């Protein structure tokens, strides 16, 4: 997909003045947070499970080559195929080949962020294979020609009215007078329309939440059941998964499963957790004849062994964006690529380059809620700081910012000079503050005063006040 | 160089290791052979009767309906009563699971039992779970010659029979049992962990039951199974 991350500021401005979007985002602010909180409080072992899950992923990443090999061996033993794709283009081509070999004209798809990342739908369409998204949210945004604005709730930026309008436009074979006023009727219509597609499809493509080295199983975690219909009805099942989805054993899966749904939707467990191992067995009455796994690197191996390695623990629950004040304000599309919110602010520069995505790690107040709720204890703010450092050291941020920071650093490294300058500056600002005690405009601080007033200092610097306080204490003691 | 070698080489270079490092291989082999058990929530660690009660409670919390019967022979008439109470046609789809096969379905003359994988027209599917998980109210099913997976997903109503004595406290116990049944490192094509009927919150975060899978999940817990 087209990257618009370099235009983050413009995107954000547009998002803030989009009334429909702001109405839809209200549901994020009110919905996810309480549900997660309730589910987490009901499980006393939640924090212990977070430690356990972090240790599992750290161990796996430290032995990733070996677990990948072990996993591959098990998939093959179960009669499946493993394809290794270094880049997005490699992955697209492998998938197309599988579709061509199956003579596929229609493929159904379960919800998968990695297929968004590799731009699979546009590619397949161009090559004459019709992809049909079957997750309700994904289906809606596919009808609109959009991309997900949230990693687990792809259509969270839309209101019911918009969905109704899309369905009326896309399902023009249905009676115009039908009642679509309730979300229930919209869901019912999507269910009926998509039912037919599952049976039409020659290939079903899903992502994976986990790949289990012990058994060669891929696991999807869903609520709708669309992923399951996608992978049991067509003749060929293709799993697309990035290499860090590997976990060693079923015990490890159990640990992380207890975190995933609680962090994502506040459920104890999602409705469907499905383990798939190889194609249908001799004697099985249903299931696919072929089972393929496409293992995608696309930049993950370059994060290993760097200060961004911890990001590879991410299980894509979405808790960080659900709790992010910046995401709440601008929504997911403003981030300009596949992954929004705090996890996107760290991952996107890793995958597409900080030159393109440098705004994202800067679009943070560092309030720390993302790290506080991350089930995998990923230090997201710290990694955003690492990106800011890299951006600065490569000279990618604007000159005024760089010179400003340099000037500040020059004073900050020389405490005497800093105190001297502030002992002049603070009284000066205090002198000009006027009756309101704040400034509507300040030279060199237009970015601040354009949106809010700058409170004026009280007349003395912090250091001066601290000295006075000490002196008073001494006096009191004497 | 193949994609496989390229990726593995990059991963090894990033970790700073060589493929012939025997110590690392040993660690991995050991973990795969003897998986360490992590944190098990106390919630499900209960004596059998309380465990089954917790299972029923948790399943009801996720909008499944739950019924308990005294013996396997009671299942067919319970199914028939469910169909009547929901105004459903007297017809069910099921595989050839031997636990279901031994139940007296034929005694119910008016109930049609269709065998084999589900079709788009089936309204009710009946399956037998291999286990339940009390911790979350989950039922566990797997594919096999006698157990089509389509029965779990295509019908609007899914009725799942589970023996009370097969209800475990936690997920790990169920996985351990699967290992015993199929052999270490082996799995049937599909294992389904099902927790409530299908749902979606994709339109304005409003939770709606009955997305693409069953609208209703009815669990029949057999006490003397």
Per-residue DSSP letters for B121-166? Answer: T--EEEEE-SEEETTTTEEEEE-BTTB-GGGGTSSSEEEEEEEGGG
Whole-angstrom Cα Rg for chain A? 26
Residue pair A295/A68 in contact (Cβ under 8 Å)? The answer is: yes
Tokens of B25: 């291989």
Question: Is residue A110 situated within a structural domain?
Answer: yes
Q: Which residue has the tokens 């060589």?
A: B18
Handedness of CA B104, B96, A224, B132 (dihedral sign): positive
- What's the rounded Cα separation, in Å, for the pair A226 and A230? 6
What's the confidence (pLDDT) of residue A229? 97
Q: Which domain holds residue A142?
A: 61-298
Question: Is residue A397 situated within a structural domain?
Answer: no
Residue pair B208/A183 in contact (Cβ under 8 Å)? The answer is: yes
Q: How many pairs of residues across A and B have Cβ atoms under 8 Å apart?
A: 276
- As a whole number, mean pLDDT of residues A268-284 equals 98
- What's the rounded Cα separation, in Å, for the pair A163 and A181? 10
Tokens of B6: 């390229």
How many domains does the structure of chain A reveal? 2
What's the confidence (pLDDT) of residue B225? 56
Q: Does A246 lie in the same domain as A108?
A: yes
- What's the rounded Cα separation, in Å, for the pair A400 and B205? 43
- What's the rounded Cα separation, in Å, for the pair A21 and A19? 5
Task: Reply yes or no on whether the pLDDT at A20 is more than 90.
Answer: yes
Q: What is the mean pLDDT of chain A?
A: 95
Question: Is residue A447 situated within a structural domain?
Answer: yes
- As a whole number, mean pLDDT of residues A369-397 equals 95
Interaxial angle between packed helices A183-200 and A136-144, expressed in degrees from 0 to 180 and rounded to the nearest 10:
90
pLDDT in tens, A153-189: 999 999 999 999 999 999 999 999 999 999 999 999 9
Task: Reply yes or no on whether the pLDDT at B153 is more than 70.
Answer: yes
What's the confidence (pLDDT) of residue B60? 98
What's the confidence (pLDDT) of residue A345? 98
What's the confidence (pLDDT) of residue B217? 98
How would residue A337 be classed by pLDDT, with cut points 50, 70 and 90? very high
Q: Is A354 helix (H, G, I), strand (E, B) or coil?
A: helix
Given an 8 Å threshold on Cβ–Cβ distance, is B189 in contact with A195? no
- Select the residue from B25, B34, B211 to test the A interface by mutation, using most A Cβ atoms within 10 A: B211
Question: Is residue A139 situated within a structural domain?
Answer: yes
Using the 3D structure, point to which of A271, A298, A325 is the last residue of a domain: A298
pLDDT in tens, B3-53: 999 999 999 999 998 878 899 999 999 999 999 999 999 999 999 999 999
Residue pair B143/B188 in contact (Cβ under 8 Å)? The answer is: yes
Where in chain B do CATH 3.40.50.10420 domains reside?
46-222
Task: Reply yes or no on whether the pLDDT at B1 is more than 70.
Answer: no
- Select the residue from B150, B178, B212 to test the A interface by mutation, using most A Cβ atoms within 10 A: B212
Q: Which residue has the tokens 């997900």?
A: A148
Which residues of chain A have a CB within 8 Å of the CB of B15? 62-65, 304-305
Residue among B73, B72, B113, B65 at smallest CA distance from B89: B113
Using the 3D structure, point to which of A257, A280, A298 is the last residue of a domain: A298
> Beta partners for A127?
none
Task: Reply yes or no on whether the pLDDT at A452 is more than 90.
Answer: no
Q: Does A222 lie in the same domain as A75?
A: yes
Whole-angstrom Cα Rg for chain B? 21
How would residue A227 be classed by pLDDT, with cut points 50, 70 and 90? very high
What's the confidence (pLDDT) of residue A294? 98
- What's the rounded Cα separation, in Å, for the pair A303 and A353? 12
**Residue A159 to chain B, least CA–CA distance (Å):** 6
Which residues of chain B have a CB within 8 Å of the CB of A191? 210-212
pLDDT in tens, A47-83: 999 999 999 999 999 999 999 999 999 999 999 999 9
Enclosing H/E stretch for B9: helix B3-15
Question: Which CATH number belongs to the domain containing residue A65 in this structure?
Answer: 3.40.50.10420
What's the confidence (pLDDT) of residue A29? 81
The predicted complex's ipTM stands at 0.97
Query: What CA dihedral angle connects A307, A313, A318 and A324, to 10 degrees?
Result: -30
- What's the rounded Cα separation, in Å, for the pair A418 and B154? 72
Residue pair B153/A228 in contact (Cβ under 8 Å)? The answer is: yes
Residue among B42, B4, B56 at smallest CA distance from A71: B4
Question: Is residue A383 situated within a structural domain?
Answer: no
Which residues of chain B have a CB within 8 Å of the CB of A258? 41
% pLDDT > 70, chain A: 100
Using the 3D structure, point to which of A240, A269, A298 is the last residue of a domain: A298
β-strand pairing of A290-296 with A81-85: parallel
Question: Is residue A200 situated within a structural domain?
Answer: yes
- As a whole number, mean pLDDT of residues A106-121 equals 98
Q: Does A217 lie in the same domain as A68?
A: yes
Q: Which residue has the tokens 């594919």?
A: B143
pLDDT in tens, A387-445: 999 999 998 888 888 888 889 999 999 999 998 988 888 888 888 877 778 888 887 77
Tokens of B44: 């499900």
Interaxial angle between packed helices A136-144 and A160-170, expressed in degrees from 0 to 180 and rounded to the nearest 10:
70
Which residues of chain A have a CB within 8 Å of the CB of B62? 267-269, 271
Q: Which CATH superfamily is domain B46-222 in?
A: NagB/RpiA/CoA transferase-like (3.40.50.10420)
What's the confidence (pLDDT) of residue B79? 98
CB-nearest to B15 from A65, A155, A295 is A65
Residue A156: CB partners within 8 Å, gap ≥ 6?
Answer: A24, A25, A27, A28, A137, A149, A150, A331, A332, B202, B205
pLDDT in tens, B158-198: 999 999 999 999 999 999 999 999 999 999 999 999 999 99
- As a whole number, mean pLDDT of residues A78-103 equals 98
What's the confidence (pLDDT) of residue A456? 85
């Amino acid at each position: 997909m087209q990257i618009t991350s370099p235009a983050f500021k413009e995107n954000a401005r547009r998002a803030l003045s989009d009334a429909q979007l702001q109405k839809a985002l209200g549901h994020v602010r009110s919905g996810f947070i309480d549900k997660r909180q309730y589910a987490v409080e009901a499980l006393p072992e939640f924090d212990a499970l977070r430690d356990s899950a972090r240790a599992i992923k750290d161990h796996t990443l430290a032995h990733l080559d070996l677990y990948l090999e072990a996993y591959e061996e098990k998939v093959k033993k179960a009669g499946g195929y493993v394809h290794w794709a270094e880049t997005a283009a490699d992955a697209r081509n492998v998938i197309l080949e599988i579709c061509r070999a199956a003579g596929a004209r229609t493929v159904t798809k379960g919800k998968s962020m990695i297929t968004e990342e590799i731009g699979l739908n546009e590619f397949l369409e161009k090559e004459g294979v019709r992809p049909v998204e079957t997750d309700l949210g994904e289906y809606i945004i596919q009808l609109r020609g959009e991309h997900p604005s949230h990693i687990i709730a792809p259509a969270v930026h839309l209101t019911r009215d918009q969905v109704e309008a899309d369905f009326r436009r896309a399902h023009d074979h249905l009676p115009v007078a039908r009642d679509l006023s309730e979300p229930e009727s919209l869901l019912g219509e999507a269910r009926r329309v998509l039912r037919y597609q599952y049976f039409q499809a020659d290939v079903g493509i899903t992502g994976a939440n986990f790949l289990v080295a012990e058994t060669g199983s891929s696991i999807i975690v869903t609520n709708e059941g669309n992923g399951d219909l996608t992978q049991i009805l067509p003749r060929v099942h293709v799993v697309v998964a990035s290499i860090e989805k590997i976990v060693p054993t079923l015990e490890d899966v159990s640990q992380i499963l207890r975190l995933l749904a609680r962090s994502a939707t506040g459920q104890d467990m999602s409705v469907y957790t499905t383990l798939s191992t190889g194609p249908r067995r001799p004697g099985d009455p249903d299931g696919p004849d072929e089972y393929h796994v496409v293992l995608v690197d696309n930049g993950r191996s370059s994060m290993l062994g760097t200060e961004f390695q911890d990001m590879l623990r991410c299980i894509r629950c979405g808790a960080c964006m659900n709790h992010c004040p910046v995401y709440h304000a601008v929504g997911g599309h403003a981030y300009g690529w596949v992954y929004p919110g705090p996890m996107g602010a760290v991952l996107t520069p890793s995958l597409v380059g900080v030159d393109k995505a440098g705004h994202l790690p800067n679009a943070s107040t560092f309030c720390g809620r993302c790290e506080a709720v991350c089930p995998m204890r990923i230090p997201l703010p710290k990694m955003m700081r690492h990106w800011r450092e890299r951006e600065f050291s490569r000279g990618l941020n604007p000159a005024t910012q760089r010179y400003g920071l340099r000037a500040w650093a020059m004073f900050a490294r020389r405490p005497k000079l800093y105190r001297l300058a502030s002992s002049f500056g603070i009284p000066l600002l205090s002198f000009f503050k006027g009756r309101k005690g704040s400034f509507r405009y300040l030279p060199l601080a237009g970015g601040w005063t354009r949106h809010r007033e700058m409170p004026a200092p009280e007349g003395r610097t912090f250091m001066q006040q601290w000295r006075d306080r000490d002196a008073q204490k001494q006096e009191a003691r004497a | 160089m193949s994609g496989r070698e390229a990726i593995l080489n990059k991963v090894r270079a990033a970790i700073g290791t060589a493929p012939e490092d025997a110590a690392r291989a040993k660690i991995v082999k050991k973990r795969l052979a003897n998986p360490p058990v992590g944190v098990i929530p106390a919630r499900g660690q209960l004596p059998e009767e309380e465990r089954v009660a917790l299972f029923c409670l948790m399943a009801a919390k996720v909008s499944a309906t739950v019924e308990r019967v005294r013996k396997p022979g009671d299942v067919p008439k319970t199914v028939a009563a469910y169909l009547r109470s929901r105004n459903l046609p007297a017809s069910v789809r099921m595989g050839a699971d031997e636990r279901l096969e031994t139940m007296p379905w034929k005694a119910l003359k008016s109930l049609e039992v269709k065998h084999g994988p589900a079709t788009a027209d089936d309204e009710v599917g009946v399956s037998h779970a291999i286990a339940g998980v009390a911790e979350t109210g989950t039922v566990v099913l797997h594919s096999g010659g006698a157990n089509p997976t389509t029965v779990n997903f295509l019908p609007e109503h899914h009725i799942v029979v589970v023996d009370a004595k097969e209800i475990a406290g936690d997920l790990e116990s169920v996985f351990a049992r699967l290992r015993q049944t199929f052999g270490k490192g082996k799995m049937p094509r599909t294992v389904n962990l099902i927790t409530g009927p299908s749902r979606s919150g994709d339109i304005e975060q409003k939770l709606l039951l009955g997305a693409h899978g069953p609208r209703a999940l009815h669990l029949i817990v057999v006490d003397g199974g």
